Amino acid sequence: MKPATIPPVRVSAKFRAELDKALEKGETLAALVEKAVSTEVLRRKSQAEFVRRGLAAIARTQQAGNGIPADAVIAKLEARLTAARRTLARKATRQATRQE
């Protein structure tokens, strides 16, 4: 496959100066841009795969009919949070009592 170019991007003079400062020793601006674009493309592919797997899992759960309703999950999490807050309050009370 023949090499292709990426379209030039207009940036402010201030940002260009920041880019130049960010370059590592011996690194070119073109190399930095290529690395940044490659990294972003890989991140987007990974994100798309993550979303695809999540949607597939949701579809499987819906077909199987064995999902847990969101209200039940939220209620359980709220109960855990309330219990954790009580525990912290008790610990704070004990520490305050010991310091007196």
The predicted structure's pLDDT at residue 95? 87
pLDDT surpasses 90 at 13: yes
Q: How far apart are CA 88 and CA 94, in angstroms?
A: 10
How many CA atoms are closer than 13 Å to the CA of 50, on its beta-carbon side?
A: 6
For the entire predicted model, the pTM comes to 0.65
Both structure tokens of 31:
């190399």
- pLDDT tier for residue 3 given thresholds of 50, 70 and 90: confident
pLDDT surpasses 80 at 77: yes
